[in-house]
Chain A
Amino acid sequence: MPKYTSMAYGSWEEMIFGTAKHPVSIGFGPVELGKKHVHPQIVPHPRPGSEATKEKILKEYQRMTEDALSHCAALGFPSIVIEFEHIYQMTSQPEWAAAIFTQAKAQMKGYYEKYGLKSALISTVADLRKPDMVNMRKCQEIDWMLATFDSTAANGADVLSIETMGGKEVFDYAIQRNDMKGIIFGIGVLSSIDMAWLWPQIVATAKKHGITPGGDTDCARGNTAMFMAGGYTATDVPHTVAALARGCSAARSLVAYESGATGPTKDCAYEDPIIKAITGVPITMEGVASACAHAELQSNLVAAVVDLWSNEAVEYHDMFGGSSVEVFTEILGYNVAQMNAAIELGYAKELQAINIASDKYRDVHGFMLSPDNSYEIGKAIVANADSYYLRAKAAVLKTAELIAGDKKMLLSDFEKDALTKARADVEALPDNEGDFIDMCLSEYSKVPGFDPTSYGF
């Protein structure tokens, strides 16, 4: 059941990039997250075909890792975090993952010993459980995942993270239909319950190997909503509905930290400014340097309270400036150099103000992540700590209230209508978690493959 009942910070103004209430140290150096410094995080992704054999994939990862490390040395970057978001073939074959992590860690050790380059390695295991195809708690996929957490923790990973899939079957059905009830049930209830079941196991594995349990982001749902909403010209999902879904994401992702995760958080669904406001853990965000993976409407603003600055994921290719890993390591390195220069000069608040001004009113996605609004959404979450459902509902309603209440946050007529309807739909939901769950278990039995026993019902 929920634990957080208060905020880590007294006000949003206390929150700043590079500093976290509860810093975390990882890897060679160590890399100190949240201690008045922002670090870059490169996420390289192998090319199609490289997964064909263990030898090929090892070579691919060897080259990508070398490119990241050598570019840091060439350009004078003090630190680098490398995240491997597992491909299917890594998580399903723990011995492949172990070999890849062993190899990368040895390379990082070499650069630390030769140059003093601080570095850390994150293992983000792929959640291969598709909720409408397997029982989330009893399937081959969960066995693979747990084995791979262990194999990578034993072979060089400094941090364990994941993007869990619970509730995606109901969420996918709901987001295609502007169905806020299903969105809250999928994200706020089902995904939270799944995390509360899985995360203690991840934390135990991390503790067993003396490494850090990182975090879990709502990629499968919150980022899906944002991705589908797209830019100004898209007509797939209303941006307001997607923003409300992402308010819900914050309530859900807290479960990892309530289970013992310490950060760095996992980026992707952009809920982490709210997580930082509540927990004080160092957060990972992706912004302008994640243009290699997707477009977004808040690329500068999301740096406002970041501690670990990521590029989401970049496929390994040649570019004019070198390999894509070299190019994006360079972009990230200079991004954080600017942030760290601001910290050292005492201009951090000025840079934060600039980044907020860039995107706060560009779209509702950035608006809700502006630190002032993130803080208010966080307060709504901790004030409703009686159940996963109630805090998710509170996050959604607070997000809606903030959007509707700020005259500078312009909305098209269509978006106004979508927000008004969504808000009314949520306000009409039951006040009691049991009633809500009973209602949803009945209604979403129509979603193909939805198995309540996956969530302990």
Chain B
Amino acid sequence: MLKTVNDLTNFDPIFIRYDIKIAPKKRAAADVSTDPALQAIAKGVVEGDEDMVADASKAAIASKGPQVVIDTLILGMAEVSKLWDDGVYYLPQVILSSDALMVGLNMAEEALGSAVVKKGTVVMHCAHGDIHDIGKNVAAALIRANGYKVIDLGSDVPEETVVKAAKDNKADLVTGTALMTTTMSAFHRVAEGLTKEGIDIPVVASGGAVSEEWVTSWDRGVYATFAKQGPEMAADAAAGMSWEDMRAKWNLVL
């Protein structure tokens, strides 16, 4: 009689379910305000509920003004980031929260009469000839939700378009993603184009087939492993960190 998987009761000699062993305990989101009107905004962000954010923001803008709404939205998003870091939230919840945040932010900016001053500007694109952009889109949502202006150029973007966007928008950082090795060569040409224009900013490159070894083989290149690194890399660039220093911080160059 052939023994099968049905005869096994202990799989530990074959594999160990570390995801079960280290599963984080559920925890409720922390309140970010003692004011019920403001907490409702934060709750909407934490739960990714656009309608809740819209209703609560509308009321709070009228009663307290737009700036306090903006501050609350940011506090709500910070709590979302903590939940993600703690393993309680997964990416889709963060994206839904980001969507909800943008609803409130747009309402507050409209009431304010101007856009909120952003922490910096990031030009993002998917390489010329490459259409695999989901990683770029995730990173863009995370960077935007962390208070940066994102110029999203989309997919299959010619190198000169990227350089022009960086120049026109006084970008702090350019990012590029690619899935295919034979399209990622474009990032090098983007970096050269920036140099020719005298734009001294880093070019962060990432994606399925993009390697640290290759990205760090040309000037301005800084390699990113995960979309989640986007906000901190944007912060580094906006703070004026050079591409050499960013590379030293984020990459290992032998």
| B138, CB-defined interface residue at 8 Å | yes
Q: Given the known A-B contacts A48-B182, A50-B182, are A176 and B138 also in contact in the complex, defined by CB atoms under 8 Å? A: yes
| B17, CB-defined interface residue at 8 Å | yes
| A172, CB-defined interface residue at 8 Å | yes
Contact status B23-A88, CB under 8 Å = no
| B106, CB-defined interface residue at 8 Å | no
Residues of A within 8 A of B17 (CB): 232, 362, 410
Contact status A176-B15, CB under 8 Å = no
Residues of A within 8 A of B182 (CB): 46, 48, 50-51, 87-89
Cα–Cα, bound, A176→B88 (Å): 16
Contact status B137-A46, CB under 8 Å = no
Q: Given the known A-B contacts A172-B134, A176-B91, A361-B5, are A233 and B184 also in contact in the complex, defined by CB atoms under 8 Å? A: no
Binary per-residue interface labels of chain B (80-114) against chain A in the complex, 1 for a CB within 8 Å, 0 otherwise: 00001001111111011001000000000000000
Q: Given the known A-B contacts A133-B131, A412-B23, A413-B23, are A357 and B87 also in contact in the complex, defined by CB atoms under 8 Å? A: no
| B129, CB-defined interface residue at 8 Å | yes
Residues of B within 8 A of A88 (CB): 129-130, 180, 182-183
Contact status A176-B92, CB under 8 Å = yes
Cα–Cα, bound, A50→B141 (Å): 34
Q: Given the known A-B contacts A48-B185, A235-B87, A237-B90, are A353 and B3 also in contact in the complex, defined by CB atoms under 8 Å? A: yes
| B156, CB-defined interface residue at 8 Å | yes
CB-contacts of B125-143 with A (<8 A)? 129-131, 133-134, 137-138, 141
Contact status B92-A224, CB under 8 Å = no
Question: Shortest Cβ distance from A244 into chain B, in angstroms?
Answer: 13
Partner of A45, one of B87, B96, B181: B181
| B155, CB-defined interface residue at 8 Å | yes
Contact status B181-A47, CB under 8 Å = yes
Question: Shortest Cβ distance from B99 into chain A, in angstroms?
Answer: 8
Q: How large is the interface on A (under 10, 10 to 19, 20 to 34, 35 or more residues)?
A: 35 or more
Cα–Cα, bound, A236→B226 (Å): 10
Cα–Cα, bound, A124→B5 (Å): 36
Cα–Cα, bound, A15→B2 (Å): 16
Question: Shortest Cβ distance from A117 into chain B, in angstroms?
Answer: 28
| A431, CB-defined interface residue at 8 Å | no
Q: How many residues of B contact A (CB 8 A)?
A: 47
Partner of B95, one of A89, A177, A232: A177
Binary per-residue interface labels of chain A (207-234) against chain B in the complex, 1 for a CB within 8 Å, 0 otherwise: 0000000000000000010011000110
Cα–Cα, bound, A45→B155 (Å): 22
Which of B19, B133, B184 has the largest count of A CB atoms less than 10 A from its CB?
B19
Cα–Cα, bound, A191→B137 (Å): 21
| A334, CB-defined interface residue at 8 Å | no
Contact status B2-A350, CB under 8 Å = yes
Contact status B96-A172, CB under 8 Å = no
| B154, CB-defined interface residue at 8 Å | yes
Partner of B20, one of A176, A315, A360, A412: A412
Cα–Cα, bound, A444→B33 (Å): 34
Binary per-residue interface labels of chain A (397-441) against chain B in the complex, 1 for a CB within 8 Å, 0 otherwise: 000000000000011111100100000000000000000000000
| B26, CB-defined interface residue at 8 Å | yes
Partner of A357, one of B4, B91, B131: B4
Question: Shortest Cβ distance from B127 into chain A, in angstroms?
Answer: 9
| A49, CB-defined interface residue at 8 Å | yes
Question: Shortest Cβ distance from B9 into chain A, in angstroms?
Answer: 8
Residues of B within 8 A of A87 (CB): 180, 182-183
Cα–Cα, bound, A286→B152 (Å): 34
Contact status B19-A235, CB under 8 Å = no
Cα–Cα, bound, A315→B211 (Å): 11
Binary per-residue interface labels of chain B (164-183) against chain A in the complex, 1 for a CB within 8 Å, 0 otherwise: 00000000000000001111
Residues of B within 8 A of A155 (CB): none
Q: Which A residue's beta carbon lies closest to that of B92?
A: A178
Contact status B14-A49, CB under 8 Å = no
| A35, CB-defined interface residue at 8 Å | no
Contact status B181-A353, CB under 8 Å = no
Cα–Cα, bound, A418→B93 (Å): 11
Contact status A128-B19, CB under 8 Å = no
Cα–Cα, bound, A175→B134 (Å): 10
CB-contacts of A142-186 with B (<8 A)? 165, 172, 175-178
Contact status A238-B90, CB under 8 Å = yes
Question: Shortest Cβ distance from A180 into chain B, in angstroms?
Answer: 11
Partner of B137, one of A172, A227, A349, A360: A172
Binary per-residue interface labels of chain A (335-370) against chain B in the complex, 1 for a CB within 8 Å, 0 otherwise: 000000000000001100100111111100000001
Q: Which B residue's beta carbon lies closest to that of A87?
A: B182
| A130, CB-defined interface residue at 8 Å | yes
Q: Can you pick out 22 interface pairs between chain A and chain B where the beta carbons lie within 8 Å of each other? A: A48-B182, A128-B131, A130-B131, A130-B133, A175-B134, A176-B92, A176-B141, A177-B96, A228-B91, A228-B134, A235-B84, A236-B90, A238-B90, A294-B208, A315-B209, A357-B4, A359-B15, A361-B5, A362-B14, A362-B17, A411-B20, A414-B23
Given contacts A48-B182, A48-B185, A51-B185, 10 further A-B contacts (CB under 8 A): A48-B184, A128-B131, A133-B154, A176-B141, A177-B96, A359-B15, A361-B5, A362-B14, A362-B15, A414-B23
